Structure 1
Amino acid sequence: MDRGGRPYFVLKAANGEIVGTSESYSSSQAMEHGIAVVKTIAPNAPVVDES
């Protein structure tokens, strides 16, 4: 939960490094939907190495 008590999720790489944080959601159900969308889209997302 964020400071306002709204749920959000954190994206972590295989090595445990945090690579992203979601927006805050109005409910846990809305957050779960957001996670499902990311799982669907992520395998086809482009990888950009900015190092």
Structure 2
Amino acid sequence: MYTPQDAARVAPRWHFRHISEDVLPALKARGLSDDDVDTLLVANPRRLFE
């Protein structure tokens, strides 16, 4: 576990909505399609757990 100070230093913008609010919009702005998002977040995990 990180101390709050270490966490702020290592991942200053991290929060529970980081993927949906920061990462995905940045990837979509660079050309990631909705199908690509579905593959990353739905199809691949489904295939792993089946």
Same fold (TM over 0.5): no
The structure with the greater share of residues assigned to strand is 1
The structure with the greater share of residues assigned to helix is 2
TM-score (norm 1): 0.29
The structure having more radius of gyration, on CA atoms, is 2
TM-score (norm 2): 0.29
